[in-house]
Amino acid sequence: MIGNKFGFWKMGLATMALSFVLWPFWPLNSVFLRAETKSSLSPVGFEERLLATASGDRLHLFARRFQPGELILARLEPGNKIIGAWIGLNQHRYQFLKILAENPEYIAFISLDATAEPGDVLFRLTIVRPDKTWEASELMVKMEAKEYRKRKIQVAPEYVQPPTEVQERIEREAELLRAIFSVVSPSWLGDGPFLLPHHGKLSAYFGDQRVYNERVSSFHNGVDIIASWGEPVRAANSGRVVAASSFYFSGKMVVIDHGLGLFTSYNHLSRLLVRRGQEVKRGEIIGLVGSSGLSTGAHLHWSARIATARVDPLSLLALPFPVRTASNSQRK
């Protein structure tokens, strides 16, 4: 039996652990999810790892690819009543939260940082029952290696070696962003699958190793989308605006909190069309393309984070995120 409940595929699997590739189809405007590849836009599948516990609980891990820097969507289907659950991974604890009160399924977002070493990674699932007993189960997942490109870029000297008078600003902005990304909103604020914020071609990819003016190296923590000055930039999913201001390196930037520790950022805008604290809908225009901050021309830099882990934003496009609105969740 294959069904779609709150935007999730349910496969009716009985084996203890397996992996395979799924091709997502969504009851949202009857369209396939699409993500940018190096040649053109094309449908993207996702992989799954499954853990079935002795108590009948089922843990699903979804990822475009199981590699460092890829978002992992974890879904828990409890076999019996629970009062709490989390996944332990590399000294971090990722809490499961309910999607909707009437839905027995729980979700969490997980990622290894892009610079993490590949290899076998242990996911430890802990479930707390109403009688306060704890049950622990483990799933070993092999994380494949990921290759990144190297690029040389020429920029204005003040962005390679910022003047002394702006150092305090840079440090203040970095501290502000650390504080923003440290907050985990206790509910899913998105609504269904993620969208590309702009449908231009990609000029730079997540993980590109950049050398500025032959001197300074950096890790590109997002993707660059070619666009013309003043073109609209849309929210990749619903959420709450937690930053909408000008930053030294990022220029005019919008950061959206999608809940459960997942954030997306939109940099180098020419104009901000939202304000901090504003609720935005999936596909809503939040700003206009520009070239503010550390930029060599008009484009959109789009990035994503799970707390401190840098995530390839294109990995979001492939995953079966739950539908939150009543109108969409009732569609077949």
* 265: pLDDT strictly greater than 90: yes
Residues 201 and 117 in one domain: no
Residues 171 and 28 in one domain: no
Per-residue confidence (pLDDT) for residue 27, from 0 to 100: 29
| pLDDT tens digits for range 152-189 | 666 566 565 677 888 999 999 999 999 999 999 998 99
Q: List CB contacts of 16: < 8 A, sequence separation 6 or more.
A: 50, 51, 52
Torsion angle (degrees, nearest 10) of CA 321, 66, 22, 208: 80
Residues 106 and 208 in one domain: no
Length of the chain: 332
Per-residue confidence (pLDDT) for residue 208, from 0 to 100: 80
Query: DSSP characters for 33-46?
Result: --EE-SSSEE---E
Q: Which residue has the tokens 């923590």?
A: 221
Residues 131 and 176 in one domain: no
Give the pLDDT mean for 70-76: 96
Give the pLDDT mean for 45-72: 94
Domain assignment present for 205: yes
Give the pLDDT mean for 196-215: 78
Give the pLDDT mean for 69-74: 96
Residues 165 and 206 in one domain: yes
Q: Which residue has the tokens 């853990």?
A: 51
Domain assignment present for 296: yes
Q: List CB contacts of 176: < 8 A, sequence separation 6 or more.
A: 243
Domain-ending residue, one of 83, 115, 146: 146
Percent of the chain with pLDDT over 70: 77
Domain-ending residue, one of 98, 116, 146: 146
28-32, 192-196, 214-218: which range is least confident on average?
28-32
Domain assignment present for 49: yes
Residues 300 and 154 in one domain: yes
Could you give the number of structural domains in the chain?
2
Domain assignment present for 184: yes
Q: What is the CATH classification number for the domain harbouring 50?
A: 2.60.40.10
Mean pLDDT of the chain: 81
pTM for this prediction: 0.80
Residues 132 and 19 in one domain: yes
Q: What is the CATH classification number for the domain harbouring 208?
A: 2.70.70.10
Domain-ending residue, one of 146, 166, 197: 146
* 222: pLDDT strictly greater than 60: yes
| pLDDT tens digits for range 79-109 | 999 999 999 998 889 999 987 666 778 999 9
Confidence category of residue 60, pLDDT binned at 50, 70, 90: very high
Residues 183 and 204 in one domain: yes
206, 208, 229, 226: which is closest to 217 by C-alpha?
Answer: 208
| pLDDT tens digits for range 127-154 | 999 999 999 999 999 999 887 766 666 6
* Measured distance CA(206)–CA(170) in Å, rounded: 23
38-47, 56-65, 174-183: which range is least confident on average?
38-47
Reduce the DSSP state of residue 122 to 3 states and report it: strand
Domain that holds residue 308: 150-317
Residues 228 and 118 in one domain: no
Residues 292 and 166 in one domain: yes
CA 188 to chain centre: 13
Residues 199 and 135 in one domain: no
Per-residue confidence (pLDDT) for residue 226, from 0 to 100: 95
Q: How many CA atoms lie within 13 A of 274 on its CB side?
A: 27
Domain assignment present for 226: yes
Reduce the DSSP state of residue 160 to 3 states and report it: helix
Residues 159 and 282 in one domain: yes
